[in-house]
Amino acid sequence: MEKMKNEEMKDLILNYVIKEYLEDEDKEITYDTPLISSGYIDSFSMVSLLVFLEKRFQIKIPPSKASPEAFDSVNKIVELVNQFTK
């Protein structure tokens, strides 16, 4: 798979987060909005986000790396994904 550009990746993840996890339609989030520490995504839901990332980017993120801190914003998620894509 051709490596996706960071900007494309950010938009893809941001759109997915908005579609799947944000019930408050008035709320606007950015690439830096805290996702886990804000409570938008809880620790149980993190698993579905992890599955999405692994499937979409064809990577395997080990449990030790899938921490609340690493998932806490779109920018941080992109950093994490980049560690595992060639």
Rule CB under 8 A: choose which of 7, 15, 32, 51 binds another protein.
Answer: 51
For residues 72 and 37, the answer to whether their CB atoms sit within 8 Å is yes
Residue 2 interacting with another protein (CB under 8 A): no
Choose the stretch contacting another protein; rule: CB under 8 A; options: 3-11, 19-27, 74-82: 19-27
Q: Closest Cα to residue 70, out of 55, 86, 6, 43?
A: 43
Tell me: does residue 84 bind another protein (CB under 8 A).
no
CA atoms within 13 A on the CB side of 15: 6
For another protein, the binding residues (CB under 8 A) are 20, 23-27, 34, 36-45, 47-48, 51-52, 55, 67-69, 72
